[in-house]
Amino acid sequence: MKSVLALVAAIAMVLGAIAVRNRMDDKPTLGGEPTRMKLTCATELAAACEAMAADDLDVIVEPASDTAERLTGLPDGARAGLDGWLVPAPWPQIVAEARQRAGRTTVLAAPSAAIGRTPVVVVAWRERAAVLERSCKTPVGWRCIGDAARAQTWKTLGGNELWGPFKPFHADATREASGLVTAAAAAVSFLGRTDFSSADLDEDAFTDWYSELERSLPPTRSTGAAAVQETLATGPSVYDVVGAFESEAQPLVAASARRGELQVIYPSPMVTADAVLAGAARGGRIDDLARLVTGEEGRRSLADSGWRVEGRPTVGPPLPPGNGLPSPGALEALRLKTKEIR
Amino acid sequence: MRTRAVALFAILAVLLSACVGLRKDESGADGPRKGCAVVDVASSPEKFELLTNLAADFNKTQSEVLEDKCAFVKIAKKSSGTAAQQLADGWQETEANGPRPTIWSPSASSWGAVVNQRLSERNQGAIVPAGARSFMLTPLIFAMPKPMATALGWPRTPIGFADLLALARDPKGWAGKGHPEWGAFKLGKTNPNFSTSALSATVAQYYAATGKQRDLTLEDLNRPEVDAFNRDVESAVVHYGDITLTFLNNWFRNDVRGTALTYVSAVAVEEKSLIDYNRGNPDGITDPGEQPKPPRVPLVAIYPKEGTLFSDNPVFILDAPWVTARQKTGARAFEAFVQRPENQRKVLSFGFRPGNPAVAIGAPIDPANGVDPAQPQTTLRVPSPEVLVRIIDKWGQLRKAARVLLVIDVSGSMGDDAGNGETKLELAKRAAIDALGQFKPEDEVGLRIFSTNLSSKEPKDYIDLVPVGPIGSQREALASKISDLIPTEGTPLYTVARTSYDDMKGKYDPTRINAVLLLTDGKNEDPRNSDLEGTLRSLRAGSEGLSSTPVRLFTIAYGGGADLGILRRLAEATNAAAYDASDPETIAKVFTAVVSNF
């Protein structure tokens, strides 16, 4: 009897040891399908996602285009590999339209209403913004920044020759949500309307102007938040103006020892990124995840990471009712145009 | 029955401990708590001390973290260029290479681009993530003695890279600026295969050569006039090397002797190094009892008006196959820890600019130390990875050619066991043959061996096995002669150091870096010449002031029996450097570092 008990105890210990070893090796535990919630987040929402407290939540952060391309390429009937995607609109629509064009069925359910919003801002060094404004004869906005990029040097713009070339920044429009929304803000600023189509983007005047802007940006680019961080740490030598989401820029500028030398500009017309949750069309724990992300926990996490959430105090000018963006199709055309230029 | 049960439990206990036992690195020998993920960090040398302090503080905080979430950070020193090469080669975990890192913090992000580019050329995926956060910053500057900078119009007139390079190419040198007593313009610059300041300076040099401030292309690099420009600039270089410290130490010694203005005119270094120098501490490390004394001639920072590059000290959490999710989590916790304002203030005290902008730039980054916190006003764009890699490759072709005499000790003690079953001579021969590959075909290299009574006729203490000549045509002969070496008698160190130096000086070639590379495992054992002071006087006399034929004597102290102190004095008498290979197994690495001077 004792031997049998010893053997049972021994087997239990070995199984326990294997389980511990597996955990240490970052391998999934033995047996059954994982039942944890899987939330994929766009880079710009990383802080909010990582702050959401839930023991059974796995968060993956990646550029919006990576998720979009994976979802677009999924064969019909395949699982999305996520329960929900928290991303600025209209990325879920971009995926839906791309799948429709390819004759594939939907992989995502209709997205939620905006859970949080953030406008596109420009962080600029005051001294240089003043020169820019004089040169453009308008408040600093994307049209002005694009024109300055065409002028190429501060000397041409009437500034100090030692400031060198004019150096704007926005995140990669072909990869990051903030890059595409900012590029859209630039296009809207140049074209003067939001209802443009791919044909408008192919007009010579826009192509020339937009090409100059995009080519003045560094070829290898970080996120808007990283660029704001970099410009605050290095001073005006690396970037003169940085386009980013307010949620990325404002907290960093406010905490910076050099905030007095900087200006956070809200270019007109105002364009916003609206964070939405798009659940997988089938399977998984979509409802639980929606309750978490669109509920109090999700709203608190978004607000704490700089997103504007209804009913919570905000700083900065009021937001317009709409996001000020063109259609998902026009945005996708702009993304392709950017790829082509580079 | 009871015995059987006990035996069964004993066996199971062994099995259990094997299953849950810690990984090799988590042995506990170095202090990690059981179950903590070990996060190995490969750090560039200049922040090793700082990161080690911060890691110790971080590890203390981990005692309050749950076992399955805690991390233990271990810092290892690794030069940026060497780490880049090891990562591109898959980082074999040998004793010399050290553990595979979870975090890599080179001096500048550009090294990350170099690694990813080299991997992509081998059809392998990128392992260095984009957009890593900077731990701390320091811009590349040209350090110049204040009187020289003043002669160029500093601080009122902005000085550019092109101005310095024009001076370097002007045959009149400083005489054209009213100071013939300073001689030719001499540039100090390290080797871009190893050193971040050299990589940044070489990039800036290409921008100056093309007249561009961004968008360098491969076509730009191949233009004949760009090659010509770069050859001219390199011709002003005194010698290269793996670290800028060699220049700063020599400069400081010359300052003490009153010859700071003739050793070198400007050196491409990081702002942090200039601050250390002006505080009287050129190596940036205060040894016990050391009383830093500021130099007589302070250096000032020239921030090139065309722009410069920052060493941004990124914290790369690698996407390498050997990095686990637990290690990444631990790495992110450490990354956040070093960004805390209280830790970023420590960065400032080391002479770096904080990576966290919440901490204001302040002393010692101020004019009192020869630097300007409001500079630089503009930066040069880091070129694309393929252009960056091509710049490094092109530098190997365009760098100043060398004329080097390899002087190798074949005394009896070289036949001693190196500790791995091979003799010291065997290890040294292999390292020397491997190092021959670092020379370019236009370099001239010769081989001399030395030991007492090596020959029955004069000179008795050394033999020239291969005369100094183009390595392109005699690489095989050199390798073969090195391979045939056998140990003989004693060590006539002073005689061979002096005669080798004199021989190279006698056939000095002004278009080349002229140098002697002397390797020895012993002390001077020559009863006919034990005059160290006389040897030093002779070497110094040929190297001080406006010496028109500067020959550098680089020395390697090999094995535990070598006298590093004396070898250092011999090297420093010629404004060169001594290298420590007291552990014979490091000889290959040391040879590579020494040959990086040429």
> CB-CB: which of B1, B324, B361 is closest to A2?
B1
Mutate to test the interface with A, among B19, B308, B311 (most CBs of A within 10 A): B19
Top mean pLDDT of B14-18, B231-235, B321-325 is at B321-325
The pLDDT score that the predictor gives to residue B177 is: 95
In this model, does residue B14 exceed pLDDT 50?
Answer: no
Name the pLDDT band for B374 (thresholds 50, 70, 90): very high
Cβ contact, residue pair A23, B68, below 8 Å? yes
Mutate to test the interface with B, among A157, A230, A258 (most CBs of B within 10 A): A230
Residues of B in contact with A258 (CB under 8 A): 357, 360
- What is the helix (H) or strand (E) element at residue B381, kind and residue range? none
Rounded to whole angstroms, the Cα distance separating B50 from B285 reads: 11
| Lowest mean pLDDT, pick from A137-141, B503-507, B543-547 | B543-547
Please name the residue of chain B whose CA is at the shortest distance from the CA of residue A223: B131
Residues of A in contact with B213 (CB under 8 A): 164-165
Establish if B45 touches chain A: CB-CB under 8 angstroms. Answer: no
Six-digit token string for B562: 């070598």
Cβ–Cβ < 8 Å for B373, B361: yes
Residue A127 CA to chain centroid, in angstroms? 29
B95-151 residue pLDDT tens:
888 999 999 999 999 899 999 999 999 999 999 998 788 999 999 999 999 999 999
For every residue of A229-262, DSSP letters joined together read HHHHHHGGGT-SEEEEEHHHHHHHHHH-TTGGGE
Beta pairing, strands A168-169 & A57-62: unpaired
Cβ–Cβ < 8 Å for B299, B188: no
Query: To which residue do tokens 């072709």 refer?
Result: B397
Six-digit token string for B358: 């919440």
For CA atoms B230, B236, B242, B243, give the dihedral sign.
Answer: negative
Establish if A167 touches chain B: CB-CB under 8 angstroms. Answer: yes
- CA-based nearest residue to B406, from B435, B448, B438, B439: B448
For every residue of B245-272, DSSP letters joined together read HHHHHHHHHHHHHT-HHHH-SEEEEEHH
Cβ contact, residue pair B8, A7, below 8 Å? yes
Residues of A in contact with B161 (CB under 8 A): none
Phi first, then psi, for residue A88 (nearest 5°) are: -65, 140
Establish if B66 touches chain A: CB-CB under 8 angstroms. Answer: no
Please name the residue of chain A whose CA is at the shortest distance from the CA of residue B18: A17
In this model, does residue B354 exceed pLDDT 70?
Answer: yes
Rounded to whole angstroms, the Cα distance separating B381 from B101 reads: 28
Report the amino acid identity of residue A188.
Answer: V
Mutate to test the interface with A, among B117, B377, B384, B388 (most CBs of A within 10 A): B377
Establish if A17 touches chain B: CB-CB under 8 angstroms. Answer: yes
Rounded to whole angstroms, the Cα distance separating B191 from A73 reads: 47
Residue B12, min C-alpha distance to chain A (Å): 6
Rounded to whole angstroms, the Cα distance separating A320 from B97 reads: 57
Residues of A in contact with B23 (CB under 8 A): 24
> CB-CB: which of B5, B131, B361 is closest to A2?
B5
Query: To which residue do tokens 């010769």 refer?
Result: B446
Six-digit token string for A104: 């594939």
ipTM value: 0.81
Name the pLDDT band for B8 (thresholds 50, 70, 90): low
The pLDDT score that the predictor gives to residue B26 is: 31
Counting one residue from chain A and one from chain B, the pairs whose CB atoms sit within 8 A come to: 113
Query: To which residue do tokens 């960056």 refer?
Result: B388
Phi first, then psi, for residue B105 (nearest 5°) are: -125, 85
Cβ contact, residue pair B377, A162, below 8 Å? yes
Residues of B in contact with A165 (CB under 8 A): 213-214, 378
Rounded to whole angstroms, the Cα distance separating A72 from A96 reads: 8
Establish if A26 touches chain B: CB-CB under 8 angstroms. Answer: yes
Rounded to whole angstroms, the Cα distance separating B218 from B16 reads: 59
Report the amino acid identity of residue A246.
Answer: E
Name the pLDDT band for A118 (thresholds 50, 70, 90): very high
Percent of chain B past pLDDT 70, that is, above it, reads 94
Residues of A in contact with B5 (CB under 8 A): 2-3, 6
Report the amino acid identity of residue A5.
Answer: L
B324-333 residue pLDDT tens:
999 999 999 9
Mutate to test the interface with A, among B378, B384, B387 (most CBs of A within 10 A): B378
Report the amino acid identity of residue B474.
Answer: Q
Find the mean pLDDT for residues A20-32: 41
- What is the helix (H) or strand (E) element at residue B584, kind and residue range? none
Rounded to whole angstroms, the Cα distance separating B405 from B382 reads: 37
Top mean pLDDT of A192-201, B14-23, B159-168, B545-554 is at A192-201
Establish if A222 touches chain B: CB-CB under 8 angstroms. Answer: yes
Please name the residue of chain B whose CA is at the shortest distance from the CA of residue A255: B358
Cβ–Cβ < 8 Å for A181, A325: yes
B265-297 residue pLDDT tens:
999 999 999 999 999 999 877 778 888 899 999
In this model, does residue B38 exceed pLDDT 80?
Answer: yes
Percent of chain B past pLDDT 90, that is, above it, reads 69
Residue A269, min C-alpha distance to chain B (Å): 29
Q: What angle do CA A189, A192, A196 make, to 5 degrees?
A: 100
Please name the residue of chain B whose CA is at the shortest distance from the CA of residue A233: B357
Percent of chain A past pLDDT 90, that is, above it, reads 82
- What is the helix (H) or strand (E) element at residue A263, kind and residue range? strand A262-265
Establish if B131 touches chain A: CB-CB under 8 angstroms. Answer: yes
The pLDDT score that the predictor gives to residue B478 is: 94
Rounded to whole angstroms, the maximal C-alpha distance in chain A is 95
Establish if A14 touches chain B: CB-CB under 8 angstroms. Answer: yes
The pLDDT score that the predictor gives to residue B1 is: 46
Burial of A194-231, coded b for 16+ CB within 10 Å and e otherwise, reads: bebeeebbeeeebeebbbbbbebbbebbbbbbbbbbbb
| Lowest mean pLDDT, pick from A309-318, B58-67, B470-479 | B58-67
Which DSSP category does B456 fall into? S
Higher local confidence (pLDDT), B205 or B487: B205
